[in-house]
Structure 1
C-alpha cells in the first residue's frame, strides 16, 4: 500500500502529459476555427450597420412637399382682351332701319367675346321669349338658337314694362355693357365701379311689343361641358371649350339646369353652391363636398341665388333638377333660379371631437371666434353667440388646456373711440364657460396699437389666449408691450407673452403673432397664435384680370419666414423647447405660406391628417383649411391632430357660432423617458475575442468549471479516456 501511494502522482502526471500531447493539435485547430468565425461575425455586423444607416437616412421625412398650386399666380396680371366682332359676323345679316339695327338673333348681339360688338348701339330684336322677370327688368331668349355654342342666345333687358314669363316680344333699345349691381343704386347714391369685375351685356329697352306667347326653350345642362380650368394657358383668347370663364359667358342670360344637385355648404349672402348628381371628376370629401387642392380649380361648383332667408347646410340635396338663368354679380357667375324644388335634409350633424382630455397629454385648440367682443349691442356680439362659443368649448372640443383665440376685438367692438384693451372681451367668454359648467380659464393678451392691426375699423382685433391654470402654468415674466419684439434668452422667452417683430413692415395693418411660454409637467412649450394677412386684395377668380393673381401671397410668405426664424432661434438656444404654432394663416396647407412657416423645424399637422377631412372653412363652393397647427419636430411624432366641424358647413340655425371650425392638437408627454430610472443593459456586439454571452440576470458571473463553449466534444472524450486509463492502471497496481 505504501509503495502504491508513492507511485500515484507519477501515474497522474503521465496521464496529464499524454492528454496534453493528444489535445494540442485539436486545440490549435479549434483556435483557428474560432478566429475565422469571429472575423466573419465582425464583417456581418459591419454590413448590418451600413444597411441600418442607409435605411435611417432614407426614412427621414421630406423637408418640403411639392406644390404647384401657385404656379400661375406669379404671372403678370393681364386684362382679358376682347376681340370685337364685325356687325355681320358668321354670315348673319342685319338691317338698319332709321336709328335701330335689326339683328337676326341675340347670339349676334352677344358675339364670341365678353363684350358685345354692338356695345353702345341701338338694335331691334324679334322672336324672343321672356324666361324670368325681376324688379329691374327681365331675361329673354331666342326662340330658335343660332347653333353657335360660343355665343349666348339670351340677354337681360332693362325695362319697367310689365311682362310675364312666356311672352313673345319684339324689343327696341340700346346695348350697354354694365354691372347688375348698378341697377339697384338709388337716386342720390354713387355707384362704385368694381376694380376687376366683368360686365353683363344689357339691352336698355325703349320699346317693347308683345306678340303673343311661346314655349320656353329647353334649359342647357350647365355641367355637361364645364371646363376644369378657369382660364387655360391662353388668357387673351376667348375659348369656351377650355376656359370655364368663357364657358359661363357663352351661357350669359340663358336657361340652364343642374341635375339633382347636392348642397356643398351653408347659404351665405343669398347664395348656395351646388354640385350636380353623379359628379366624379374630383375626389369628394367626407361630407360629399370638394376640398381646395393644389393646382385644381373646382369649376363644377355652381352658385345659385336663393335669398338670405333660405336655410341650407352642407350635404342637403334636391330630388329634382334646379333650373335658372345665368347672371353675373359680385364677381361670380351664378344662376337666378326659375325652378327650385323643395330642399331635402341630408342629415349632417355638428361633430364632437374625438380627442379627449388625458392627464399626461397637453391639448391645444385654435378657434377663430369671428369678431368677438364684450359689446352686445346691435351689430356687435350678441349674448347668444357668446353662449354658443362657450358651449362649443365644453361640449364639442372637451375643454382644451390652452385655447388660442383669433379675432378678439377690443372691449367695445367696432366703436371707434381709442379703446384697445380686449381683456373684458376675453374675460366675458371665460366667465360664460365657467357659468355653463366648464373649466375656469384665465385670459392673457398684448393689446395692439390703436388702428394698427387691420380688421373691422375701430375693433382692433388681435390674437389672445385662454388657458386652464389647473393644468398649465403661464411662465411668469413681464408682459411684452405692443411694439416690443419677443426674444429668447437662455432658451426661454424674455417677456411673456410677447409679440413677434410687431414693427416689421410685413406686419403693417395685420394682426401681430403672439408667443406665450407655458409649462406642463416640467416641459416648456412656446405656443404662437397667428392671424396672417387676409386674401382681401387678391384678383377675383372669375374676374377681368386673368390669370387671377394672389396679390397678398408674398406678404404672407414673408410673415411665415419671420415666424420660422423665431422658432429656429428658440431651438438654437434650447433644443428641448417645444413649439406649437396655431391660428388662421389665411392660406392653405399646401401653400407657399405654409411651407415658409414650417421650414425644416416644424411639421404641418394638417398634412398628416386624412385628406378627405382637411378643411376648417367654406368659401364659394370649396372646403379649405385656413386654420392650421404646426409643431416642432421634437414632439411631432407624439402629437395627434384634428379639425372639428361644428361651424363651417352650417348656418346659425343649425348651431353655427363662427365662420371657422376649431382645430385641435394633443401632445403626449406620458412616454417621456425618466432619467432616474436605471437603464437595462444593452447586449454587446459580437467581437473576435469575446466568447462570453451577456449576463441577462444582472448577477455576478462565476468562474467557469465546465469547458468553454469553444471546447469540442472530441476534447472532452479524450480527457475522459486518459483519466479512465490512469484509474485502471492505478487499480491494477493496487491489486498487484
Structure 2
C-alpha cells in the first residue's frame, strides 16, 4: 500500500495527566457513567460539532477500523446504540498521532478534545472531520465484540442531488438533510461502518492505492464503464473513493481499470480526505472482476486526409525511463496511427525539473522522435519555442511547453523567422490568404492572461497545397479550485477567470485570421484544462469561429480524463468553419487504466483542407 500523506495541523493537548499520556494512551478498564456524552451528541446534526473545543470524558464505542500508516494515525469508533436522528453520525475518528494499540472489535471509552480537522487546510475549501484528539486517553473495556453492522450505500438511498445550493456560501451551519443531498447523507454517516456491494469501478487504481466506485451504476454511465461528467449541476452523487486498511502483506490493493467490478462487499469506516472527499477506509474489499477493457485504436487517415492529434505526455523529460518513451511512442504509432501533426503538451527541458536556467528541450524531443521511429513510425521533424525560464508554470524547473511534431513526408512547415518567447505572432495578408508574421509563433505572450501559464504555440503548415494554421494549447490548470465536495456550494473555481481571459485572447487571434480569409483552415487543440460546457470554451468558440469537436460525439463518449471517478473533458480539438468534414476521435488508452503512460487520453482529427 502507498497511501497519501495526510497533512495535519497541531492539535490542542487535553487537560490529561502526563502519567496517563506516557502510559501509551491506555489506562485501566473502567465503566462509563450513565449520563456520559455519546458519539451522536458530539457529531450533532450539522457538519460542525456542537461540542467543538470541549473535552469529553468516557465516550463509549466499538473500534471499527485502525489506521497505522501515515501521519494521521488513529482509529474509528462507533456507538452500537444509535439514537433515532438520521442526521447524527454514530461514528468518530480518534486521532492518536502514534500507532494505536487497540484492535477492531475492542469496546473502549475515550476521553479527549472534540476537534474539527480540515485535511489539507481550511483555506482549500474542504469539509472538516469531527474528531477526538488532544492526546486522547483510551480505555479498553472488552475485546472481540461484534462490529456494528455496516450501512449499505446503494442507488435507492443515495440522493441524485449532490449538495445544497448555498450560492457559494458555507453549508456547515445547515442542518443535514440526508434524504435530499448525497453530501449530507455521507456526512450523516461520517466515520460509521459502511458497505458497497458489487460496485463498478469508475476511477482506476492510482499510484496511491486508491480507486473510485459508483454506488449508483445507472448514473450517467459511459459505454466503457465510467461515469460521464455532464455539467456543473450534475457531479454524479454515487461516486465513492476506496482506500484500504489491510496491510499489503495480507492482501495487495486491487489493480483495477474502469469498468471492472469489486464483487461482493467492500466495507469499512467512511473517512473523508482532501484527495477526493468521502472514502471507504476498507477492512474488506470485494473480489476484483475484470471488465475486459482494452486500449482503443483509431482509424488510419486516408491519402487526402490530414490527421492532427493532441497528446499531453505528462512532464516528459530525458531522465524518464526508456519504458515511458517506448509506451508513448507505441501510443502515437499504434493507437493514433502516426498522425501527420502531433501537438504535444508538457514537454520539459533537457534536465527536467532541475531548476538551473536550462530551457532548451531538443534532447527531450529527439529522444521521443527516436522512440517513435524505433516503434515503426515516421521520422518526425519538430518545431517549438523555448519559454522564458520559470515563467510558464508547471513543475518548478521543468519549463513545460507545447511542441509540434510533423511528418515531413506528408506535410511541410512554413518557417517564418522572428518568433521567440516574447514576440507576439501577427496575421498578414498574402495573395488573398491569411499568413502568419512568424512561424512558429506565440499568441500575445506579454498579455497578463498568460502569467505563469503556457503561451499558445502557432504554426503555419502546408498539406497538399493547402495552408493550415495550427494552435497548440495548454491553458492554466485548475489548481486552487475547490473540490466538488467543498463546504462552499457551489464550489469556487478560482482558476476559471484566467482561463476565460486566455480564451478571449486566443479567440481574438482566430478572428484576426478569419477576418483576412474567412475560409482559413484553423485547428486549435491541446489541454485546455476545462470542460466543454465551461465559460472558457464558450468564450473560445464565441462568434462561431471555432467548433469544439467533443460536442459532436454522443454524450457517453465525451471524456478524455478521469478525475475522482468522473469521466470528464480537459483536452479538446476545435476547427474553423471551413473544415466541415472532420472525423474526430478521443482515443482511450490511458485515463481509464491503472497502468498509464500519461493521465490524459490523446485525440485525433482527420480533415480535408
* TM-score class, shorter: 0.7 to 0.9
Do 2:500 and 2:539's aligned partners in 1 also have CA atoms closer than 8 Å? yes
Deviation readout 1:647-681 (Å, 9 max, x if unpaired): 000122xxx21100000000025xxxxxxxxxxxx
Query: Which of 115, 124, 129 is matched with 2:62 structurally?
Result: 129
Query: Which of 133, 138, 157 is matched with 2:94 structurally?
Result: 157
Query: Which of 100, 106, 113 is matched with 2:39 structurally?
Result: 106
Q: Distance in 1 between matches of 2:370 and 2:474?
A: 24
Do 2:162 and 2:234's aligned partners in 1 also have CA atoms closer than 8 Å? no
Kindly state the Cα deviation for residue 193 of structure 1 after the two structures are TM-superposed: 6.3
Deviation readout 1:308-344 (Å, 9 max, x if unpaired): 9641111111220211111111151111002112211
1:262 aligns with 2:200: yes
Structure 1 match to 2:132: 203
Kindly state the Cα deviation for residue 357 of structure 1 after the two structures are TM-superposed: 2.3
Query: Which of 251, 266, 290 is matched with 1:345 structurally?
Result: 290
After TM superposition, list the pairs within 5 Å mapping 1:48-59 onto structure 2.
none
Q: Distance in 2 between matches of 1:266 and 1:207?
A: 38
Q: Distance in 1 between matches of 2:399 and 2:317?
A: 10
Structure 2 match to 1:664: 604
Kindly state the Cα deviation for residue 102 of structure 1 after the two structures are TM-superposed: 4.7
Structure 1 match to 2:15: none
Structure 1 match to 2:497: 554
Structure 2 match to 1:299: 237
Q: Distance in 2 between matches of 1:101 and 1:602?
A: 71
Judged with a 3 Å threshold, the aligned counterparts in structure 2 of structure 1 residues 601 and 212 are, in CA distance, closer, same or farther, namely closer
Do 1:161 and 1:208's aligned partners in 2 also have CA atoms closer than 8 Å? no
Q: Report the structure, 1 or 2, having the larger strand content.
A: 2
**Larger displacement relative to structure 2 (322-331 or 409-418):** 322-331
Do 2:561 and 2:599's aligned partners in 1 also have CA atoms closer than 8 Å? yes
After TM superposition, list the pairs within 5 Å mapping 1:162-241 onto structure 2.
162-179=101-118, 195-204=124-133, 205-223=136-154, 224-234=156-166, 235=171, 237-241=174-178
After TM superposition, list the pairs within 5 Å mapping 1:60-79 onto structure 2.
none
Structure 1 match to 2:574: 630
Do 2:119 and 2:273's aligned partners in 1 also have CA atoms closer than 8 Å? yes
Deviation readout 1:488-541 (Å, 9 max, x if unpaired): 111100110100011100110000001101011111100000000111011222
Q: Distance in 2 between matches of 1:640 and 1:267?
A: 32
What SS does structure 1 have at the residue aligned with 2:364?
helix
Query: Which of 335, 348, 362 is matched with 2:306 structurally?
Result: 362
Deviation readout 1:438-466 (Å, 9 max, x if unpaired): 10100110111101100000000011100
Kindly state the Cα deviation for residue 179 of structure 1 after the two structures are TM-superposed: 4.6
Count of matched residue positions in the alignment of Structure 1 and Structure 2: 550
Q: Distance in 2 between matches of 1:198 and 1:402?
A: 45
Q: Distance in 1 between matches of 2:58 and 2:129?
A: 18
Structure 2 match to 1:532: 475
Structure 2 match to 1:330: 274
What SS does structure 2 have at the residue aligned with 1:358?
coil
Q: Distance in 2 between matches of 1:164 and 1:418?
A: 53
Q: Distance in 2 between matches of 1:454 and 1:123?
A: 47
Kindly state the Cα deviation for residue 549 of structure 1 after the two structures are TM-superposed: 1.1
Q: Distance in 1 between matches of 2:606 and 2:74?
A: 57
Query: Which of 610, 613, 622 is matched with 2:557 structurally?
Result: 613
Judged with a 3 Å threshold, the aligned counterparts in structure 2 of structure 1 residues 440 and 132 are, in CA distance, closer, same or farther, namely same
Deviation readout 1:531-560 (Å, 9 max, x if unpaired): 001110112222233321111112111211
User: Unaligned stretches of 5+ in structure 1?
Assistant: 1-96, 182-191, 670-736
Q: Report the structure, 1 or 2, having the larger helix content.
A: 1
Kindly state the Cα deviation for residue 100 of structure 1 after the two structures are TM-superposed: 9.8
Structure 1 match to 2:485: 542
**Larger displacement relative to structure 2 (539-548 or 112-121):** 539-548
Deviation readout 1:590-610 (Å, 9 max, x if unpaired): 222111111211111111112
Structure 2 match to 1:471: 410
Deviation readout 1:204-256 (Å, 9 max, x if unpaired): 32241313543222211223432333322344523333333322211111011
Query: Which of 344, 348, 372 is matched with 2:316 structurally?
Result: 372
Report the TM-score when normalising by structure 2.
0.87
Q: Distance in 2 between matches of 1:598 and 1:252?
A: 43
What SS does structure 2 have at the residue aligned with 1:568?
helix
Kindly state the Cα deviation for residue 171 of structure 1 after the two structures are TM-superposed: 2.6
Do 2:93 and 2:131's aligned partners in 1 also have CA atoms closer than 8 Å? yes
User: Unaligned stretches of 5+ in structure 2?
Assistant: 1-29, 246-251
Which one has the largest radius of gyration? 1
Q: Distance in 2 between matches of 1:153 and 1:309?
A: 28
Structure 1 match to 2:16: none
Judged with a 3 Å threshold, the aligned counterparts in structure 2 of structure 1 residues 576 and 120 are, in CA distance, closer, same or farther, namely closer
What SS does structure 1 have at the residue aligned with 2:160?
coil
Structure 1 match to 2:188: 250
Query: Which of 451, 457, 476 is matched with 1:508 structurally?
Result: 451
Q: Distance in 2 between matches of 1:227 and 1:212?
A: 37
Judged with a 3 Å threshold, the aligned counterparts in structure 2 of structure 1 residues 392 and 123 are, in CA distance, closer, same or farther, namely same
Query: Which of 423, 427, 437 is matched with 1:494 structurally?
Result: 437
Q: Distance in 1 between matches of 2:119 and 2:144?
A: 27
**Larger displacement relative to structure 2 (358-367 or 567-576):** 567-576
